Chain A
Amino acid sequence: MIDSASLLAVLPELILTAGGLILMLIAAYGGDKSAQLVNWLSVVTLIGAGVSLSCSLAHGPVAFDGLVRADAFSVFAKALIYGAAAAAILLAPRYFSVGGHPRPEYPVLILFAAIGMGMMVSAGDMLTLYVGLEMNSLASYVLASFMRQDERSSEAGLKYFVLGSLASGILLYGIALLYGFTGSTNFDGISLALTDGVSKGELFGLVFVLAGLAFKISAVPFHMWTPDVYEGAPTPVTTFFASAPKVAAIGLTVRVAIEALGPAGLDWQQVVIFVALASILFGAVAAIGQGNIKRLMAYSSINNVGFALIGLAAGTPAGAAATMSYMAIYIVMTIGAFACILQMRDAEGKPIETIASLAGLSRSRKGLAAALAIFMFSMAGIPPLFGFWAKFLVFDAAVAAGLTALAAFGIAMSVIGAFYYLKVIKTMYFDEPAAPYEARGGAVENIILTACAVVIVFGYFLNPMLDKASAAAAASLF
């Protein structure tokens, strides 16, 4: 039964669907010439979907008999997802225009991925979850191999596809087990069935679901695809992968863990703690030897996911709020850092990816070096930059939940992570200059980069707002 309230609750998805389909037609008939138009229109579509979030909240929280939830949590996550997706679209044209044209399919694919991600974070049922996840994944596989003549890009797409399918299979198997033992695919139904204790079968289902989700958030030990895909995919796509889908997958994990598996909290807490610490440690140690900045960012994202999961491990409303705040701050840093990485181009405009090429950047491109240094210090969690606050929130939630040892261990390992961020700064500031980059960056890149840097430096003034929004988001889960 479809009622108008349900339709209004999924208004953002409807807008994106309509926009995506229309733009697909424009792209099909207009060809590559229409790329710029499609680009801007897709950003407009995303903004429209963002504006309609307030409308969907008014008609939430439960739509389609519990299949979809339009609550404060989904609104918070969707706002981040749409913002990150728009940034990924805006950053792309300049990259694709080198040695070819920008192609109009790119923004359309991102729109479709955004629909999938929106469904992921507002899923109220395992089936909605799966459909959303697959929708996002399918678009992502294509995006990863978007430079189809490029061997690395094709390899990245194939690898992503094979491993992604495997993970989807694991997830589906877990869903099937949960359905079999609880008799429901609905989150509330599963939660209800788990209240009388967790049976072996339910435990298996829980572990498989978490394993499938861990793949999507690239948490250790399901992280293997990340460095290769990040490195091989075109840089704007990597920007996208590192930001929006991360928020969606983490948001999804938080929702499933708390709404569906809440009564089994003690069971999944151990899993989450292990995955979090393993991701922090592995992400930090493996990044040290990297010479490619995109690979470095891949390990950095693994590392950051570990920190975000510490908030979830706390299992409290404050913890869930901290995890979502972490993602909000994380995507700003990541998009900013990638806006810098996209400007790493030699004199002819060809992209360069080695960290060594950053040497002496602080003398040839002062502003760019300062911005990248800000993002790196911030990711390392050094105050007074905003990245510190992200870490602060998750550790604070862990301490409040009595997990002091976890917090102490995690924060001590963040020092290892600081080392490789420092390495990038050292290369830019202490080393003798290498061959200079292209003299000027693109206007759009510079605007995004500056905006991100401003948020990271002055972010503490946003604290009251962020606290309120993330607390409301978390409250809607409990």
Chain B
Amino acid sequence: MDGFPILSLMMAVPMAGAIACLFAGANQARWIALLATLVDLVLGVVLWMNFDQSGTAAQWQFQEYAPIFGRFAWALGIDGIALLLIALTVFLMPICIGASWLAIEKRVPEYMAAFLFMEVLMIGVFTAQDLYLFYIMFEAGLIPMYLIIGIWGGAERIYASYKFFLYTLLGSVLMLIAMMWMVHEAGTTDIPTLMAYHFDPKIQIWLWLAFFASFAVKMPMWPVHTWLPDAHVQAPTAGSVILAGVLLKMGGYGFIRFSLPMFPEASAQLAPLVWGLSMVAVVYTSLVALVQSDMKKLIAYSSVAHMAIVTVGLFAFNQAGLEGAMMVMLGHGLVSGALFLCVGVIYDRLHTREIARYGGLSINMPKYAVLFMLFTMASVGLPGTSNFVGEFLSLMGIYQASSWVALVCTTGIILGAAYMLYLYRRICYGDQKNADAAAMPDLSAREVWLLAPIAAAVLWMGIYPESFLSPMRSDIRALEARLASAAPAGDSQIKMGPAIPAAEAHHEETPAMSHGEASGEAH
């Protein structure tokens, strides 16, 4: 694979597909889009297979460099963190196209083109190794998403599209100014170099805040999350899937790629801010989710709560927290995507998102009820599903930094169970009180094919998370080492007992640390 520009190819395929779609008819466009996304999925698999996961491998792999744009370069390259997020993107894209197969009837070619262009930009964000290239990719995503929400969205689509666009734009522009400052200071636009550059801690605060303005909006963190429920509710199903599944992860990726390694001191100083906002988000948005009568809004608020778990994990400054945050991002990408698809399935039948209009679906839609149950449980964080691993690791990580934050954020798991199970009960259990809902047919073969791969991935992540932890392990370690000097001292320092003679300690070897934390949390 050496020297083969696979990352460029992964962006070229959907780009070519997008252009082809614009000149095709509706049905052709669907097939072109499906084909392009499937090819990208295959390329993604090839990428993963060829990614060197051994600890001795270079941090950045598949690097490409072409200085064709003057001030900045077409510089690509990935580490394990980026690899996982790219995998998530290419995995969800064919499913999005499939979910729009029948639901989108008007202006199909443009729709498919917008989605494929979106895929190009998402892969671009995760692969860019040039600061300005990253910004361009990051910001350009506004255009297709604005059009997707505005053209194919629901009744309030225009308000939602404006809000989405202007909110995220305002967040990002300050980041651009900070980037310019950094480039002038460090004299390079190369992200790996900047990640190792030491900025003056006093300036770091300002730079950190500028980046925070962008990523916090994208994430989204309370109190700048209000664009998300509007955008989610109004976007078409596939739009919600990609928004929740991948676009929100750009915020988390930004933190882990920029804020933490580039401004470690500022991150440590401002961590209490992040913790505070995250604690509010977990409790507040969970409670808000509890009283929603609109299914999509409920899941949107639950996303905000889950993303808050990501931010506390990231700002725990230790390996458990960082790995947990990544796992929540991946797990949430799959689960919230699947939940939006589940909503889409019944929305396509009854054309309403009112929870009260459904009921007793497990009687007439048993297959649907089973899959919906699986994803509900995954969202709650049931052991054996993807989200359990991530949430557990994140909370374990933050416990080492601050036990109070861990305490408050863990209530999110309880509240999460409350709103998700309440949602499930209202939709799938109880009497079939609405005749039209009772007459809905079960999942079609197409819908099963959309949900089954996600279900498999969710279980895989839950049962054997090592497949997903191993590619990023050395990168997370490197990041932890970078943060070590600045990391705030935790308030739950575990006193190590006197060294136990080797013979006695024999039965509890390597995972001693995690055992210790697990029991610590139980107190």
Decide if B166 is an interface residue (CB 8 Å cutoff). yes
CB-based contact B174/A395 at 8 Å? no
Beyond A419-B162, A419-B166, is A426–B180 a contact (Cβ under 8 Å)? Answer: no
CB-based contact B70/A464 at 8 Å? yes
Q: Mark B366-405, 1 if CB is under 8 A from A, else 0.
A: 0000000000000000000000000000000000000000
Residues of B within 8 A of A461 (CB): 68-69
Q: How far is the CA of A383 from the CA of B124 in the complex (A)?
A: 13
CB-based contact A399/B162 at 8 Å? no
Q: How far is the CA of A396 from the CA of B177 in the complex (A)?
A: 8
Decide if A166 is an interface residue (CB 8 Å cutoff). no
CB-based contact B166/A408 at 8 Å? no
Q: How far is the CA of A407 from the CA of B177 in the complex (A)?
A: 7
Q: Mark A379-421, 1 if CB is under 8 A from B, else 0.
A: 0001110001000100110011000100110011011001100
Query: Chain A nearest CB: distance from B199 CB in Å?
Result: 14
Query: Chain B nearest CB: distance from A376 CB in Å?
Result: 11
CB-based contact A430/B169 at 8 Å? no
Residues of B within 8 A of A395 (CB): 176-177, 180
Q: Which of A399, A418, A422 contacts B177 (CB 8 A)?
A: A399
Beyond A411-B174, A412-B174, A422-B146, is A383–B135 a contact (Cβ under 8 Å)? Answer: yes
Q: How far is the CA of A382 from the CA of B176 in the complex (A)?
A: 12
Beyond A461-B68, A463-B70, is A412–B170 a contact (Cβ under 8 Å)? Answer: yes
CB-based contact B170/A415 at 8 Å? yes
The count of chain A contact residues (Cβ–Cβ below 8 Å) is 32
Q: How far is the CA of A384 from the CA of B69 in the complex (A)?
A: 12
Query: Chain A nearest CB: distance from B371 CB in Å?
Result: 34
Q: How far is the CA of A383 from the CA of B130 in the complex (A)?
A: 15
Q: Mark A416-446, 1 if CB is under 8 A from B, else 0.
A: 0011001001100110000000000000000
User: Which parts of A439-478 form the interface with B (CB within 8 Å)?
Assistant: 460-461, 463-464, 466-467
Query: Chain A nearest CB: distance from B360 CB in Å?
Result: 38
Decide if A377 is an interface residue (CB 8 Å cutoff). yes
Query: Chain A nearest CB: distance from B71 CB in Å?
Result: 7
Decide if B521 is an interface residue (CB 8 Å cutoff). no
CB-based contact A414/B166 at 8 Å? no
**A367, closest chain B residue (CB):** B22
Quick check: which of B75-83, B136-144, B302-310, B451-459 contacts chain A, the rest being far away?
Answer: B136-144
Decide if B150 is an interface residue (CB 8 Å cutoff). yes
CB-based contact B70/A466 at 8 Å? yes
Q: How far is the CA of A412 from the CA of B166 in the complex (A)?
A: 11
User: Which parts of B153-184 form the interface with A (CB within 8 Å)?
Assistant: 157-158, 161-162, 165-166, 169-170, 173-174, 176-177, 180-181, 184
**B70, closest chain A residue (CB):** A463
CB-based contact B173/A414 at 8 Å? yes
**B162, closest chain A residue (CB):** A422
CB-based contact B151/A430 at 8 Å? yes
Beyond A412-B174, A418-B166, A467-B70, is A382–B181 a contact (Cβ under 8 Å)? Answer: no
Decide if B280 is an interface residue (CB 8 Å cutoff). no
CB-based contact B69/A422 at 8 Å? no
CB-based contact A408/B174 at 8 Å? yes
Q: Mark A61-76, 1 if CB is under 8 A from B, else 0.
A: 0000000000000000
Query: Chain B nearest CB: distance from A361 CB in Å?
Result: 13
User: Which parts of B64-116 form the interface with A (CB within 8 Å)?
Assistant: 68-71, 107, 110
Query: Chain A nearest CB: distance from B184 CB in Å?
Result: 5
Decide if B287 is an interface residue (CB 8 Å cutoff). no
CB-based contact B142/A404 at 8 Å? no
CB-based contact B177/A404 at 8 Å? yes
Residues of A within 8 A of B136 (CB): 383-384, 388
Query: Chain B nearest CB: distance from A254 CB in Å?
Result: 21
Q: How far is the CA of A419 from the CA of B167 in the complex (A)?
A: 11
Beyond A383-B136, A399-B177, A399-B181, is A415–B71 a contact (Cβ under 8 Å)? Answer: no
Residues of A within 8 A of B43 (CB): none
Decide if B147 is an interface residue (CB 8 Å cutoff). yes
CB-based contact A430/B150 at 8 Å? yes
**A406, closest chain B residue (CB):** B177
CB-based contact A415/B135 at 8 Å? no
Query: Chain A nearest CB: distance from B112 CB in Å?
Result: 15
Beyond A426-B150, A429-B150, A430-B157, is A396–B180 a contact (Cβ under 8 Å)? Answer: yes
Q: How far is the CA of A384 from the CA of B139 in the complex (A)?
A: 8
Residues of B within 8 A of A464 (CB): 68-70
Q: How far is the CA of A404 from the CA of B182 in the complex (A)?
A: 12
Residues of B within 8 A of A392 (CB): 132, 176
Q: How far is the CA of A363 from the CA of B108 in the complex (A)?
A: 12
Residues of A within 8 A of B142 (CB): 382
Q: How far is the CA of A362 from the CA of B150 in the complex (A)?
A: 13
Query: Chain A nearest CB: distance from B395 CB in Å?
Result: 37
Residues of A within 8 A of B71 (CB): 396, 463, 467
Beyond A422-B165, A460-B69, is A429–B151 a contact (Cβ under 8 Å)? Answer: yes
Residues of B within 8 A of A430 (CB): 150-151, 157-158, 161
**B74, closest chain A residue (CB):** A460
Q: How far is the CA of A388 from the CA of B71 in the complex (A)?
A: 14
Residues of B within 8 A of A384 (CB): 136-137, 140
CB-based contact B139/A383 at 8 Å? yes
**B121, closest chain A residue (CB):** A384
Query: Chain A nearest CB: distance from B224 CB in Å?
Result: 14
**B176, closest chain A residue (CB):** A411
Residues of A within 8 A of B110 (CB): 362
Query: Chain B nearest CB: distance from A185 CB in Å?
Result: 38
**A430, closest chain B residue (CB):** B150
Having A384-B136, A388-B139, A408-B174, one finds 4 other A-B pairs with CB under 8 Å, namely: A384-B140, A415-B169, A430-B161, A460-B68
Q: Please give me the 9 A-B residue pairs with the lowest Cβ-Cβ distance, nearest first.
A: A463-B70, A383-B136, A399-B180, A411-B173, A430-B150, A464-B70, A415-B170, A384-B140, A467-B70
Binding site for A on B (CB under 8 A): 68-71, 107, 110, 132, 135-137, 139-140, 142-143, 146-147, 150-151, 157-158, 161-162, 165-166, 169-170, 173-174, 176-177, 180-181, 184
- Chain A to chain B contacts (Cβ below 8 Å), 15 pairs: A383-B135, A383-B137, A383-B140, A384-B137, A388-B139, A396-B71, A396-B180, A399-B177, A399-B181, A415-B166, A419-B166, A429-B147, A430-B150, A463-B69, A464-B70
Binding site for B on A (CB under 8 A): 362-363, 377, 382-384, 388, 392, 395-396, 399-400, 404, 407-408, 411-412, 414-415, 418-419, 422, 425-426, 429-430, 460-461, 463-464, 466-467
